[in-house]
Amino acid sequence: MSILYKFTPLLKKRKKTFMFSFILILSILGWFLFSGSDSELEFAEANIGSVVQEVNITGRVKSAQSVDLAFERSGKISYVGVKSGDRVAGGRLLIKLDDSELLAQEQREKANVSASELRLNQIIASSKSGGDISSVIDSLARAVKSSIDAMIDFTDVQYKYFNNNYGTSVYLAQQKDEILYEIYNKDNLGRVGAWYFTAFNTGLKSEVYAAQANPNDADIDPLISKTKHMLLITKAGLEVMQSELAGQPNVDPADLNKIKSDIDTIITRISDTSILNKTVVGEGYDIEIAISQLEQAKASLALIQAQLVRYWLVSPFAGIVANVDVKPGEIISPNEVMVSLIGNAKFQIEANVSEADVAKISVGNSANVTLDAYGRDNIFKAKVIHIDPAGRMVEGLAVYKITLEFDSNDKRILSGLTADMDILTQRKDDVLYIPSRNVISKDGKKYVQVVIDQNLESDRFANLILISQEDGKKIFEVEIKTGLKGSDGRIEIISGLQEGDKIIRE
């Protein structure tokens, strides 16, 4: 008991010290929380300045001009004139297929043009003469029969190599339908067998056979004109078949020779028909036919030359060869990419924008671009050149693709780089603004809390709601109208505030 008695005064002293410290701490906290002066209130001030709205997105750099080049047909590579990394001008020959057969056909058509020119000159120099009508009609009948025989061969080859519903087969069926229409005056014969159309005795075939039976009643001039037209269309169709057949794998040479022989026969019949014209009609009309024949010969030459172009890969624009993966002597398939080309046009950026931001962006908006490869300190300039009108769903969100173009070429810009863009969508200068976080929205209206000195008299606040009044300050709730909301936290004030007004900072 004596020991406890000794420590009792010490315990009482420590208890008083603890209570004093606790009261002191509560006093300090209360002073910080509930006391202070007007200077401790945080205000934001309505100022005049700029409000800038930007949209921040990420996209990928792509070449504005790029193309993968391929042949439409199979064949053997005979020439490769470029390698990856080469710069080429527009129109340069890059790769070529073996075109020796077409070149031979081109020489033949050039000879036909020369012969047609010579024939025209001979007709002009010769005098008009008469002829036997019966022999003329017999020649027309031979011409019709030659065309029918050629179409029988055409049909045999068609059924053997082009008997489907795609591409070349459809085109050849159209050619056949046009030729048989000239002979029989009947439609939809492009897919039928020879046994079917040879049974008809209609159209030009019927007219020529009727003229043979009654030559004195025949109107020869129209028959010669129709027969000549039929022969020219037959020749053009056979030449298309010859060209397409040459591009097929494992073609029987006999089939090629058969079509070539038919072409030669038809050319002879065309020449015979031109002579018939001279025998029957006047010199002036004969000259017109000779001119037409020359034009047809030139057209046939142009057709071969157009087909030759399909054996060449030519650069469609100036640029850099990005990839070449073929060598001379290789056999290639149709539509197999042979070479890629990147143009010299300015690089572009493609990016997806949310439906919330796309309404802010317009074609022509400028942008500051940074490329991840070079860091945030290297800024490139670009502008919006296209906005897709139709959106698409990406991970459940509607997005719109936009395209930007760099203002200038820069060697550092490469296709495929990741680009971060700050697109300036709208800017207003010399406008009144406040921090947007201080705007209070309720009941479809917007308000701020304005602080004024208590002794300040102003009619502006006469009819406003007084929120509080203390320490020499009055706080009013003021309705405002806002304009542009910037991406930097500023918002334009259209009405309700004046420059210098102080509002409570949230």
Q: What is the CATH number of the domain that holds 318?
A: 2.40.50.100
Tell whether the model's pLDDT for residue 257 goes beyond 50.
yes
Q: Distance between CA atoms of 180 and 202, rounded to whole angstroms?
A: 11
Question: Residues of the chain with pLDDT > 70: what percent?
Answer: 86
Q: Distance between CA atoms of 147 and 253, rounded to whole angstroms?
A: 22
In a domain, 22, yes or no: no
Per-chain mean pLDDT for the chain: 83
Output the pLDDT for position 152.
94
Angle between helices 253-280 and 283-309 (to 10 degrees): 160
Tell whether the model's pLDDT for residue 16 goes beyond 80.
no
- What is the residue range of 357's domain? 54-64+344-427
pTM for the model stands at: 0.43
List CB contacts of 56: < 8 A, sequence separation 6 or more. 420, 421, 422, 423, 487
| Whether residue 452 is found in the same domain as residue 384 | no
SS3 20: helix
Output the pLDDT for position 126.
55
In a domain, 291, yes or no: no
Closest to 461 (Cα-Cα) out of 474, 447, 471:
474
CATH code of the domain containing 49: 2.40.420
In a domain, 119, yes or no: no
In a domain, 381, yes or no: yes
| Whether residue 144 is found in the same domain as residue 260 | yes
H helix or E strand, kind and range, residue 217: none
In a domain, 115, yes or no: no
The DSSP code sequence of 340-384 is EEEESSPPEEEEEEEHHHHTT--TT-EEEEEETTT-TT-EEEEEE
Other C-beta atoms closer than 10 Å to the C-beta of 481 total 12
Output the pLDDT for position 125.
66
Q: What average pLDDT does range 347-360 have in this prediction?
A: 89
Output the pLDDT for position 34.
44
What angle is formed at CA 304 by the lines to CA 180 and CA 197, rounded to 5 degrees?
Answer: 10
Model confidence band, residue 22 (pLDDT cutoffs 50, 70, 90): low
Model confidence band, residue 276 (pLDDT cutoffs 50, 70, 90): low
Task: Answer with the one of 281, 298, 325 that is the final residue of a domain.
Answer: 281
Output the pLDDT for position 26.
56
H helix or E strand, kind and range, residue 51: strand 47-62
Tell whether the model's pLDDT for residue 59 goes beyond 90.
yes
Residue-wise pLDDT for 202-215, tens only, equals 999 999 988 888 87
| Whether residue 198 is found in the same domain as residue 165 | yes
CATH code of the domain containing 389: 2.40.30.170
CATH code of the domain containing 204: 1.20.120
Q: What average pLDDT does range 336-353 have in this prediction?
A: 86
In a domain, 258, yes or no: yes
H helix or E strand, kind and range, residue 106: helix 100-125
Tell whether the model's pLDDT for residue 463 goes beyond 80.
no
H helix or E strand, kind and range, residue 34: helix 2-34
Tell whether the model's pLDDT for residue 240 goes beyond 80.
yes
State the total domains in the chain: 4
Output the pLDDT for position 40.
57
Closest to 505 (Cα-Cα) out of 438, 411, 433, 407:
438
Question: Which pair of structure tokens corresponds to residue 3?
Answer: 């020991």
Tell whether the model's pLDDT for residue 153 goes beyond 60.
yes
In a domain, 220, yes or no: yes
Query: Which value, in Å, is the radius of gyration of the alpha carbons in the chain?
Result: 45
Output the pLDDT for position 404.
93
- Bridge partner residues of 57 (DSSP): 421
Tell whether the model's pLDDT for residue 31 goes beyond 80.
no
Tell whether the model's pLDDT for residue 236 goes beyond 80.
yes
| Whether residue 331 is found in the same domain as residue 379 | no
| Whether residue 371 is found in the same domain as residue 462 | no
| Whether residue 269 is found in the same domain as residue 400 | no
Residue of higher predicted confidence among 466 and 353: 353
Tell whether the model's pLDDT for residue 13 goes beyond 50.
no
The DSSP code sequence of 418-483 is EEEEEEEEEEEEEEEEEEGGG-EEETTEEEEEEEEETT---GGGTTSEEEEEETTEEEEEEEEEEE
Tell whether the model's pLDDT for residue 174 goes beyond 90.
yes
Output the pLDDT for position 460.
76
| Whether residue 224 is found in the same domain as residue 166 | yes
Output the pLDDT for position 24.
55
Q: Which of 172-181, 319-328, 463-472 is the most confident on average?
A: 172-181
| Whether residue 135 is found in the same domain as residue 153 | yes
| Whether residue 373 is found in the same domain as residue 478 | no
Task: Answer with the one of 322, 343, 364 that is the final residue of a domain.
Answer: 343
Residue-wise pLDDT for 416-461, tens only, equals 899 999 999 888 899 899 888 888 888 888 988 888 887 766 677 7
| Whether residue 161 is found in the same domain as residue 216 | yes
Residue-wise pLDDT for 86-136, tens only, equals 888 888 888 988 888 888 888 888 898 898 888 888 777 654 444 467 788
Tell whether the model's pLDDT for residue 7 goes beyond 50.
no
Q: What average pLDDT does range 140-144 have in this prediction?
A: 91
Residue-wise pLDDT for 377-398, tens only, equals 999 999 999 999 888 888 888 8
In a domain, 289, yes or no: no
Tell whether the model's pLDDT for residue 465 goes beyond 50.
yes
| Whether residue 141 is found in the same domain as residue 247 | yes
Output the pLDDT for position 481.
92
- Bridge partner residues of 340 (DSSP): 68, 323
Task: Answer with the one of 406, 427, 448 that is the final residue of a domain.
Answer: 427
Output the pLDDT for position 71.
87
| Whether residue 187 is found in the same domain as residue 226 | yes
Residue of higher predicted confidence among 459 and 485: 485
Q: What average pLDDT does range 292-312 have in this prediction?
A: 86
Tell whether the model's pLDDT for residue 1 goes beyond 80.
no
- Bridge partner residues of 68 (DSSP): 340
Output the pLDDT for position 19.
56
